[in-house]
Amino acid sequence: MEFSVKSGNPEKQRSACVVVGVFEPRRLSQSAEQIDKASDGYLSNLIRRGDIEGKLGQSLLLYNVPGTLCDRVLLVGCGRERELSPDKYATIIATATRALNEGGTMEAVFYLTDINIKGQDSPWKVSQLILTVEDTLYQFDQLKSEKDEFRRPLRKIIISIPSRRELAECEEALKSAQAIALGVSTAKDLGNLPGNICTPTYLAKTALQLAKEHEALSTSILEEADMEELGMGSLLSVSRGSREPAKLIVMEYKGAENNDNPIVLVGKGLTFDAGGISIKPSAGMDEMKYDMCGGASVIGTLQACAELQLPLSVVGVVPSSENLPDGDANKPGDVVTSMSGQTIEILNTDAEGRLILCDALTYCERFEPSAVIDMATLTGACIVALGHHAQALLSNHNPLTHELLNAGKQIHDRAWELPLWDDYQSQLDSNFADMANIGGKGAGTITAACFLSRYTKKFKWAHLDIAGTAWKSGKEKGATGRPVPLLMQFLMNRVQ
């Protein structure tokens, strides 16, 4: 999509369409009001007759509105003005986008930054608008022989802002939102690709390709032999049960001149999780292709950093493997030695995410990171705790916790903190090794984080469990690209 921002009067736009809001019950937004004046009450007349109530999700396309220079006016229902929220703003944008795309309007001027969302300014609205439009129009059809194509798809959106004074900051917001949307779309594509295509090797190739496209980005791949040498016995124990070789993908983005300590992002890249010998039930197992979404978000975020030329140093580390049952796979009771030297009793082979992450986290020490943030579709328990709206956040550093929670709130990709108290650590006690890989009944998301915390003592670290947020199930099955927006907001905040 081509986006731009400008400011000007709605009735004076020579465009295929001007989009304005209508509140419930039958009240015009500021921009709709302006068109109403120019058209001698055309809109208020129509509304009085009851053609549109202004409910959220409604829209009405009008042709040849008197007093305007555009071909069409799209009225979009915004719901009650007092009840507006970031979610409702997204619904308004998505409704307008679908109506235009499906109705054959290829270009439109959106007058939707005049809507008041409590505490949000114009740059925020520009940014949310772009992210929502791209999210709405995203399609994963690369594996379909016949694609749903619209004859006249929406191609160009001009975002009108109320005042010329805000132009510069809104243009900044436009630039960053476009980069974030690109990262989100990359993460979605990787997530949606099936396990037989998106293998560890495929993820590695994608990361190498991105490095070719961006000068400030370099990628290196550690092979199983390299990991052997480093002593990554935990990670390698998972991939032993699979015919696809494991990869440790390392992407380095250097956007800053000085050699400051980088922020390291680590993402679980399990390209298919059957559970191993502790095999999962078959219902819905296809969704375990999404078990690499943490890794996909790391790759998408590094791409977005490079695209934006963010003046920071960021490293992405993606341990990638499959988890399958096999004669050579981990067995319950096996004890493995991690790169840190700590031994692990594997009581459940389906708790494999932490087994690959722990070695990747130890590997991060070499970067002398200013902070390490890992993200993983780590526990089903996270969905029980938080459902599909918030990702869980656990951290060993309070200020980092707050930076991440705030970034998530800002860009509306929210996280919620769970306690990483020492009280939970004893659930990992093992009679045969330094720790078990499962924590038994209760607090599964916390005990998983407790496990990781034993490998992150040397740096400031936060863990995001994205099991409930990385993809949607059911009719709308598909990757979400979360938490790329949260990470990008966090990184952008670090620049200012």
**Residue in 11, 134, 350, 374 binding Mn ion, rule: CB under 5 A:** 350
| 487 in Cβ contact with 373 (< 8 Å) | yes
CB of 360 to ligand BES, least distance (A): 15
In the complex with Zn ion, which residue's Cβ is closer, 189 or 465? 465
Single-letter amino acid, residue 10: P
CB of 428 to Zn ion, least distance (A): 18
CB of 291 to Zn ion, least distance (A): 4
Contacting range for ligand BES; rule: CB under 6 A; set: 36-44, 121-129, 256-264, 350-358: 350-358
Nearest residue to Zn ion, by Cβ distance, number only: 273
CB of 325 to Mn ion, least distance (A): 12
Residues 359-378 close enough to bind ligand BES by CB under 6 A = 377-378
> 343-346 and 334-337 as β-strands: parallel, antiparallel, unpaired?
antiparallel
For position 273 contacting Mn ion by CB under 5 A, the verdict is yes
Q: Which residues pair with 63 in a beta bridge?
A: 72
Tokens representing residue 134 in the block: 């791209």
In the complex with Zn ion, which residue's Cβ is closer, 161 or 351? 351
**Residue in 267, 353, 439, 483 binding Zn ion, rule: CB under 5 A:** 353
For position 273 contacting Zn ion by CB under 5 A, the verdict is yes
Contacting range for Mn ion; rule: CB under 5 A; set: 67-75, 82-90, 268-276, 370-378: 268-276
For position 273 contacting ligand BES by CB under 6 A, the verdict is yes
Residues 280-339 close enough to bind ligand BES by CB under 6 A = 291
CB of 116 to Zn ion, least distance (A): 43
The catalytic site residues sit at: 280, 354
Residues 427-456 close enough to bind ligand BES by CB under 6 A = 438, 444
Residues 460-489 close enough to bind ligand BES by CB under 6 A = 467
State the Cα–Cα distance between residues 259 and 282, nearest whole angstrom.
49
For position 408 contacting ligand BES by CB under 6 A, the verdict is no
| 358 in Cβ contact with 234 (< 8 Å) | yes
**Residue in 57, 311, 380, 387 binding ligand BES, rule: CB under 6 A:** 380
The site for ligand BES (CB under 6 A) is made up of 273, 291, 348, 350-353, 377-381, 438, 444, 467
Instruction: Name the residues that contact Mn ion, by CB under 5 A.
Output: 273, 350, 352
